[in-house]
Chain A
Amino acid sequence: MLSRTADNLYWLSRYVERAEYLARILDATQRLTALPLAYVGASNEWETAVATAGCATAFFKTYDEANEENVTDFLAFSTANSSSIRNCFELARSNARSVRTALTTEMWDAINGTWLELKRYGNGSASREEFSRFLRWVQESSLRYDGSAYRTMLRNDAYWFSRLGVFLERADNTARILDVKYHLLLPDNERVGGPLDYFQWSSILRSVSALTAYHWVYRDSLKPWLVADLLILNEQMPRSLASCYVSLVEHLDNIAGAYGRQGPAQRQARGIRARLQNSRMDGIFQRGLHEFIGEFITENNDLGAAITQQFLI
């Protein structure tokens, strides 16, 4: 297939995934800030949200203060922020439009419908209630797009490239949450039962929609090292780093099989997956959680570059 087509499919999926992730962060932050101070401490959760979205520098160029109004505007509606939810959907749709024939009708309807509806939300929301509705709608739109891709696309390279976009972006997002909140997950931070951290942990889980999953997997109250285990190493958890890499390797292998050729992207992905599969949480804590996450983010970016280099240009 045309490199440009593959590139468009890949970015289309990345942008939709990113929009959903931003909605989750905003949702989790809104919940956290709604709690009395005694439960969450005096940290500025809105500033954390901007950091987790990976756009702190850009944010503080426009705003002096990270408060609810500024952050929701910047992450959700701003046209100045290239990665706002609005821009993600705009970019997703323009990618979709230029590869219209590579999409199924259902996918096009999903992404085009989302883009049309986005206009109705205008430049922000009057009330919190309305904003919550907006966030739910963003997540539902992403599910609809993802579901239509999953259920209607032919299982060929077009599908695999669009999946690569999803999992690369998802791995990056999960890693970013961990990068910003890693200190809460360190074992020496353990003050079991302390309400302060409990809500922080549940907020982390919520931002990757894993709160219920946690209880099903561990059948235990929230423990920071288990939260870290779930998000990093647990292959059952669809947003964990390990799970993303199982899928990345699978789809890269599919491509290699169809093309009859392996390349740097396949080797790199397999290397990262092997490292995740061979790691244990205590080992990661020993070598330093923060360093581990930092390295992962870099390697994940390198894989993105390798995929682009090998297939998309």
Chain B
Amino acid sequence: MVAAFDEMKGHDGDVRPVYGELSRWLKEVPADVLDYRRREAELLFRRIGITFAVYGEADAQERLIPFDVIPRIMSGAEWRFLEKGLVQRVKALNLFIKDIYGARDILRAGVVPDDLVFRNPAFRPEMSGHSVPHDIYVHVAGIDIVRVDADTFYVLEDNARTPSGVSYMLENREIMMRLFPELFARHRIAPVENYPDELLATLKSVAPAPSGRDPTVVLLTPGVFNSAYYEHSFLADKLGVELVEGRDLFVKDEFVYMRTTQGPRQVDVIYRRIDDDFIDPLTFRPDSALGVAGLMSAYQSGNVTMANAVGTGIADDKAVYSFMPAIVKFYLGEEPLLKNVPTWRCREPEHLAYVLEHLHELVVKEVHGSGGYGMLIGPTASKIAIEQFRAKLKTAPKNFIAQPTLALSTCPTCVQQGVAPRHVDLRPFVLTGRDRTRIVPGGLTRVALKEGSLVVNSSQGGGTKDTWVLDG
């Protein structure tokens, strides 16, 4: 494996221009000051995180995601390239989902195999033949991107279901501005604080047919026991919309209402942070107490918008992911700007044979997996783990894909011994409304805090960084 590309020093060790100011600053600032600020940041973060979510609970400390004070920086040119690629990809995703619940041209053309769609647990037959308001399915997408050299970015996965993490993007910036005003004075950094406004505009734009009044938007949460409840309440607060639970809503004559102190109030747009499975006990899991009985029928009647639409989880599937370059070409007639990581689909015999022979150098993932669980990283796995995985692969090859182990770029990060490079990825959030696509510059940078680790997921010891897109 070649040495990883460093965001600050590239491959050759010369500081890249975009990091010039930060690199000078890092040299100026005494180690103890940096350490002091680091601890101050942690305290602030804990207090804010605490205030919203889990303060006082036994596992409060474990549930806070570590925050690193050294920002990850991108130039305006880099960002503009990414932005174009993101818009293109999400556009294709929307068309793909519309197609598989509608005309199914892509299946007929043989670009994506039928069974990958129809036998997929995330496929919702209930959505077939129904259109959604303004034909938009993925209103909020989180596209995970990794970088391997100065010019090469790969999409690692598409999150079209209910991507989370945007509250960290906003709070990381808030805390950085509080702690390092001098750094902000020395850079021209594109703001991200307008994200809630952009989200609200997006949600309002996709309300069902205009009724003349300002559309009522709500955020539907599973409730306080959900691990992302903090983000739900944070966003509802910033959006200025009601944070509702299933029991606050009811359906009457195919319209959705919320129970308010002034009587029932019609709801037009539901930004839902509940999985499809739980959204309506009459349609999906009958044991779900989190959803709203009859919501799906109101939805199918076109009287309410759900963001994201039901059934978008199909795009999160890693086998579907492997077809994304073809999907982009099929719908847009363009070459995809953002590359896919080369992927072997174990469902195909030749691919499986290759994967089984090269397990020690590949990353193997479950197609429906997320959060960094249930994956094998060949180069660092023990012989026993590899053999166990080989057995799993042979029993159910369809459940897996494999990719080369990428040398994710690294970024200077505060660690115990001082400042050292750690691997990072990036999750920008793409908002698709009726009028246009909105992306605030940057996103959530996740960092693998363990030396050499490539797994950035917070459940596996990952942290986060503020992400700066510089002007010009």
Please give the residue numbers on chain A whose beta carbons come within 8 Å of chain B beta carbons, in ascending order: 1-6, 97-98, 100-101, 105, 108-109, 112, 115-116, 157, 161, 255, 259, 261, 311-313
Contacts and interface: CB of A to CB of B under 8 A. Distances in A.
B235 to A, nearest CB: 10
B245 A108 contact: no
A115 B259 contact: no
B51 A1 contact: no
B244 A2 contact: yes
A116 B56 contact: yes
Main secondary structure of the interface of B (DSSP, over half): mixed
Nearest to A7: B261
A98 B247 CA distance: 13
A109 B50 CA distance: 10
Given A3-B248, A115-B56, A116-B56, A98 B260 contact: no
Contact of A101 (B56, B237, B261): B237
Nearest to B240: A101
B243 interface: yes
Contacts of B51: 105, 108-109
Interface string B209-227: 0000000000000011000
Interface string B117-152: 000000000000000000000000000000000000
Closest 8 CB pairs of A and B: A311-B261, A3-B259, A101-B237, A6-B261, A116-B56, A101-B233, A259-B262, A98-B224
A4 B248 contact: yes
B335 interface: no
B237 A4 contact: no
Contacts of A98: 223-224
Nearest to A261: B262
Interface of B: 51-52, 55-56, 223-224, 233, 236-237, 242-245, 247-248, 258-262
Contacts of B224: 97-98
B248 A101 contact: no
Given A4-B248, A108-B51, A112-B55, A313 B259 contact: yes
Contacts of B260: 1-3
B27 to A, nearest CB: 38
B233 A100 contact: yes
A112 B236 CA distance: 21
Contacts of B237: 101
A101 B224 CA distance: 12
Given A3-B259, A5-B242, 19 more contacts: A1-B242, A1-B260, A1-B261, A2-B248, A2-B258, A4-B245, A4-B247, A4-B248, A100-B233, A101-B236, A101-B237, A105-B51, A108-B51, A112-B55, A116-B56, A255-B261, A259-B261, A259-B262, A312-B261
Contacts of A100: 52, 233
A3 B55 contact: no
Nearest to A160: B261
Nearest to A105: B51
Nearest to A112: B55
Contacts of B233: 100-101
Contacts of A108: 51
A139 B236 CA distance: 33
A157 B56 contact: no
A313 B237 CA distance: 23
A261 B224 CA distance: 33
Contacts of B55: 112, 116
20 contacts: A1-B242, A1-B260, A2-B242, A2-B261, A3-B248, A3-B259, A3-B260, A3-B261, A5-B242, A6-B261, A97-B224, A98-B223, A101-B233, A105-B51, A108-B51, A116-B55, A161-B261, A255-B261, A259-B262, A261-B262
